[in-house]
Structure 1
Amino acid sequence: MANHTPLVIKVGGALLEDKTAAIHFFSTLKQLMPSVPLVLVHGGGNSVENLLKALGLTSEKIDGLRVTPNEHLPYVVGALAGTVNKTLCGWAMQQGIVPVGLSLLDGGICTATQLNEKLGAVGTAKANDPQLLLQVLGNQQLPIVSSIGADANGQLLNVNADEAAAAIAHALEAKLVLLSDVPCVLDADMQPIAELNSKSIEQLIAQGVINGGMAVKVKAALQTANQIGNPVIIASWKTPEQLLGLIQGEAVGTTIHSDAESNAENIAEYQMKLSSETK
């Protein structure tokens, strides 16, 4: 492969509701695979919601995270690690890709710990052992990873897919792209924001401009940017051809910069200002 830095791509469950877009998406991944190792991480909130409703169960979210009582867990696992994962694998196969369907717990890719009792069987993921992913990538196959993890005792946990993708990107020291059905982060006037750093993220969350699931996404992106030393991109799966430009260095969506990048930029600006003042 020409580019040996892996690219971790996260897609939301809304992709499953648009088969035409999904086929276009996997066709684009097929074009990317000779140039860069790819890992696909997915959520599936809509599929989970639909299944729970069909079963007469109510579901709620707190701060963008789905509350998962133990009695809901078998259905959440079945939807994410089963139906959603294998549907995506099937669509990948239609485009000539060899998929390998996985979860966070397989091969010890990530470890998970429960967040709190209030959220139930909801966990946060931490990078652990990337060897299984590296083996799959070495075979020119596409890992498709659901966000179901487990703690040290084997207790299954529902992990936010953005956080799952962030943990995998950390494990692989990879670039991370978070794709949803919106093209970027929007400001208060619903206009695109090209770049964000920790300061601007904190301000926009405090103002309520960034909230709910997008706040979770942006926080996970910033945390990962700080961990891996690479910026993280938030963009849309509706225009996957942007990924082709991305690996060529083009700017797409919203770029989340690490604190190190922001500090370096501030220092550079200060030095330039100081230089001009002393002339």
Structure 2
Amino acid sequence: MPVDINIQAKTEVLLEALPYIQTFKGSTFVVKFGGSFMDTERARIGVATDLVFLATVGIHVIVVHGGGPAINKAMSEALIEPVWKNGLRYTDERTVQIVEKTLNENINLSVCENIQIQKGHPIAVKGQDVFRCKRLEEDSDGNPVDLGYVGSITSVESSRLKRYLEQDYMPIVSPIGRDAEGQLYNTNADTAAAHLAAAIGARRLVYLCDVPGLLRDKDDPSSLISSISQEEVPAMKAEGIIGTGMLPKVESAINALTSGVHRVHLIDGTMPHSILLEIFTDKGVGTEIVHAS
């Protein structure tokens, strides 16, 4: 009796995934997402499904989420005009309160709800209970900068997260930090995810992006770079392959790799089930950054 070609294809996919499932069982992955692609219900549910799949096959998952579009909307509704300094957003006391409320009370709980719909076990974690920080004093080029209540993460209190993982919860963490005096700060979510991945001893750090990954030609999706070593990054920055939008992610990826994370993945959050395709297939669908050889 001939084998149905669709059944055969499905079987091959499952068999391709098997060694990855076996390898990653018991490992910890940190997944960071945010951005405009999360504005659609289909994307939110699709990502939640992938995260629950990871947890179901024995991978411990921690999510760090951003919330730029939602924060912009909340500020607009509060009639707060954005203030920029040298191209960077300034965060005053009123703004950081809106940021904290939007991230912790709106976005975080929404992510938890989507995961619960897929029968996952999320737990909401306010970033200020995890991230310790100080006021950001320098930009990415080392120049002095004053952006108000924007923080630079100094440490991660990971014991609570480890306890949640032991209890089979999926922590959903916002990128809010606090200093020694209890002052709250908005932090860069990409950087926050990298710090957390390093502190928790994550095997993988996954960034969901609005683009397929690193492209040699930003206008040509077929020019996707599937894998690079961290030692190739400086040349790619010089060539302009790593542009402004990807720079915080790539720089955070390098810091994570230096701190013990095995690999970092940059994948397209708009592609259905891109997390599963990247993690459980031989070819993958995005860009992975690996340790220098």
| TM-score of the two chains, using structure 1 as the length reference | 0.83
Distance 2:87 2:26 in 1: 34
Confirm or deny that 1:244 pairs with 2:263.
Answer: no
Distance 1:227 1:45 in 2: 27
Distance 1:239 1:162 in 2: 20
Distance 1:64 1:199 in 2: 29
Matching residue of 2:206: 177
- CA deviation map 1:144-180 (0-9, x unaligned): 1000111111110101110111011011110100112
Q: CA contact under 8 A between 1:13 and 1:42: conserved in structure 2?
A: no
User: Judging changes above 3 Å, is the alpha-carbon distance between structure 1 residues 240 and 161 closer, same or farther for their aligned structure 2 residues?
Assistant: farther
Q: Report which stretch shifted further, 170-179 or 118-127.
A: 118-127
Confirm or deny that 1:76 pairs with 2:99.
Answer: yes
- CA deviation map 1:92-112 (0-9, x unaligned): 121112221112322xx3321
Distance 1:189 1:157 in 2: 33
Matching residue of 1:6: 28
* CA positional deviation for 1:186: 1.9
Query: Counterpart of 1:72 in 2: which secondary structure?
Result: helix
Q: Report 1:138-217 matches (<5 A).
A: 138-174=166-202, 175-190=204-219, 191-217=223-249
- CA deviation map 1:15-39 (0-9, x unaligned): 4311112112212222211220001
Matching residue of 2:52: 30
* CA positional deviation for 1:46: 0.6
Query: Counterpart of 1:213 in 2: which secondary structure?
Result: coil
Q: Report 1:43-122 matches (<5 A).
A: 43-59=66-82, 66-106=89-129, 109-116=130-137, 118-122=146-150
Q: CA contact under 8 A between 1:104 and 1:164: conserved in structure 2?
A: no
Distance 2:119 2:216 in 1: 39
Distance 2:82 2:237 in 1: 24
Distance 1:200 1:65 in 2: 28
Which residue identity does 2:39 align to in structure 1? Answer: E
Over the aligned positions, Cα root-mean-square deviation in angstroms equals 2.3
Distance 1:93 1:86 in 2: 10
Distance 2:77 2:240 in 1: 33
Matching residue of 1:255: 288
- CA deviation map 1:51-76 (0-9, x unaligned): 11222223256788643122311111
The gaps in structure 2 that reach 5 residues or longer are 1-20, 138-144
Distance 1:230 1:60 in 2: 38
